[in-house]
Chain A
Amino acid sequence: MMRVLVSAYEDGDLEKVLLAMRSLPYDQLVIVGQGNSAESKGLETIKELEEMAGHMVIVETLADTEFLPLVDAFTELISTYSTDARTRTRNRVTLNISGGSRLLGAASLFAAFRLGVEAYHCDGTVTKLPIMKDVRPTSVFTEAQTKLLCSLCQDWLTLDEIVARAKPPSRQAGERVLRELRKYGLLRAKVEGGRILLALSDAGAEAQRIVHIAEPG
């Protein structure tokens, strides 16, 4: 199993990356930056050190400047490195969230929680973050909750429309699951013309994204 260390980075983060390199075992180092961080002097030092050990650093540059697209890009990047492209076996990915801009750092932490990836904060000291391996925020949902969650969207839908989309065993069962999802804060509700309308909240949309990441297609 190849061990991949993914480290968020911006100019000035050399010490943070060096601390992660010293403390966390890895076979492949991946540096993730934004803008022109790939041209920084610190990164040259990291590349030279890896070359001395007979390895190459992979540098990934994420172009997004908005938060959620950046989280999506970071999530995709981690997913890519989680599998060995040649052997199709699973890699062990470790994430260092201490580097990068505040936005990139927050996005990397978000991505780590989405995927249940081992993550560390390396700045002066190394702190392991309380993220359980392979456990995602959606792991708590039942099959029925997941199915119904995936049939919803951020547009308002009536109960009849939701039942028609999700096809629960019965209307009552569907209503019960909707109540459970609402309790999790995943749904917004309003009454219009005497009818109850439901839509995914922002947290619900995020939950749906995580389900899709876990079960693509």
Chain B
Amino acid sequence: MVAVFGTLGFRPKSLIPTIRSTADVDEVVVYCGSDKADPGSAKKVAEARRSVVEYCRNLRIAIEVVDLEDPFDFRSIALRIRADVRKRKQAGKDIGVFNIAGGTRPTSSAALLVCMLEGIPTVYVHDVTYQEIRLPLLRMEYSQVLSGMERTILGILVNNKGGDLTEVELAKLVGKHKATVNHHLRNLVKKGAVRLERHPKDSRKKIVRLEESTELLLGEA
């Protein structure tokens, strides 16, 4: 059975054709949200949402509508979508396609980012021609680009979220010599995954910090 994901703005017709053209759909997950400062936009999004829900109900397709608290908060949206995608994948569900045509720009961009990281077939609908375009996504397999030690270091830093770890403390946790860990840390700094900050009390020490983007990269699941 297949799930279709989509971002929804004012136009239900940007999403419904994708549901219609995908085989064996038994679930639709839709992300929508409106600009709180614009009451007109809330009304239009609600109407679009009603149409998509009605379409799915009539076809006996389960639908989950995710109301985004802030449809301009790129990071939260990306984390939410990635967690939802992973949940379905872990449950053995096939994600047929992700339609990124609707919704706010941050919502649509966050969805595209997740599709690249998770390797989900993605459809975009041209703003002007309304033509459905399948994006030739190549999954970004960062886990295969990182060495085993680099993955171990990132794993420890993720689990230690919020706590300060110096290079020496990290080396102890990894169970390797400081020079070995430093070599891998330098590679991770070069790749933009971690950064080193001066210790506030001891200038000889450095604190290892995960870049915020690494959390997006690894996902929360």
> CB within 8 Å of B: which residues of A?
65, 67-68, 97-98, 101-103, 105-106, 109-110, 113, 118, 121, 123-125, 127-135, 137-140, 184-185, 201-203, 205-207, 210
Is there an interface contact between B72 and A129, defined as CB atoms closer than 8 Å? no
B145 is an interface residue with CB less than 8 A from chain A: yes
The 5 closest A-B pairs by CB, nearest first: A130-B217, A202-B136, A128-B213, A206-B136, A132-B191
Residues B142 and A132 in contact, CB atoms below 8 Å apart: yes
Write the nearest CB–CB distance from B125 to chain A, whole angstroms. 9
Known: A106-B109, A129-B113, A210-B138. 10 other contacts (CB 8 A): A102-B101, A106-B100, A106-B108, A106-B135, A121-B74, A125-B73, A130-B216, A133-B190, A137-B141, A203-B136
**Does B61 interact with chain A (Cβ within 8 Å)?**
no
Please pick, from B116, B117, B119, B133, the residue contacting A185 in the complex, using a CB distance under 8 A.
B119
B138-A206 in contact (CB<8A): yes
Given contacts A103-B127, A106-B108, contact A135 B136 (CB under 8 A): no
A105 and B110 CA atoms in complex are apart in Å by 11
Check if A127 sits within 8 Å of B212, measured CB to CB: yes
Let me know if B42 is at the binding interface, CB within 8 A: no
Are B105 and A98 interface neighbours, CB within 8 A?
A: yes
Q: Hey, which chain B residues are within 8 Å of A98, CB to CB?
A: 74, 105-106, 109
Q: Are A65 and B190 closer than 8 Å at their CB atoms? A: no
Given known pairs A101-B127, A109-B113, A128-B211, the reply for A68 and B136 (CB within 8 Å) is yes
Least CB distance from B135 to A in Å reads 7
| Contact status B141-A135, CB under 8 Å | no
The 8 listed contacts between A and B (C-beta, < 8 Å) are: A68-B136, A102-B101, A102-B124, A103-B124, A109-B112, A132-B191, A135-B191, A202-B134
Residues of B contacting A65 in the complex (Cβ-Cβ under 8 angstroms): 128
B192 close to A133 (CB less than 8 A): yes
Q: How far is the CA of A184 from the CA of B139 in the complex (A)?
A: 9
Q: Within the assembled complex, what's the spacing in Å between the Cα atoms of A109 and B115?
A: 12
Verify if B214 is at the interface (C-beta below 8 Å from A).
yes
Q: Which of B74, B127, B192 contacts A123 (CB 8 A)?
A: B74
Residues in A with CB closer than 8 Å to B211 are 128
Is B75 touching A132 in the complex (CB atoms < 8 A)?
Answer: no
- Beyond A106-B112, A203-B137, whether A123 also contacts B72 by CB under 8 A is yes
| Contact between A102 and B105, CB atoms less than 8 A apart | yes
Is the CB of B90 closer than 8 A to any CB of chain A? no
Expressed in whole angstroms, the Cα–Cα distance for A163 and B180 within the complex equals 42
B193 interface contact, C-beta 8 A: yes
- Collect the chain A residues with CB atoms within 8 Å of residue B214's CB: 130
If A98-B105, A129-B113, A135-B142 touch, does A118 touch B192 (CB 8 Å cutoff)? yes
- For A109, A127, A140, which residue has the most chain B Cβ atoms within 10 angstroms? A127
**Given contacts A113-B116, A130-B217, A203-B136, is CB(A102)–CB(B142) below 8 Å?**
no
Q: Is B140 an interface residue (CB 8 A)?
A: yes
Chain A's closest residue to B219 (CB) is A130
Set B75, B119, B145: member contacting A125, Cβ < 8 A:
B75
* Residues of chain B within 8 A of A140, CB atoms compared: 141, 144-145
CB B35 to nearest CB in A, in angstroms, measures: 11
Q: Are B216 and A67 in contact (CB under 8 A)?
A: no
- Minimum CB–CB distance for B74 against chain A, Å: 4
Min distance, Cβ A7 to any Cβ of chain B, angstroms: 14
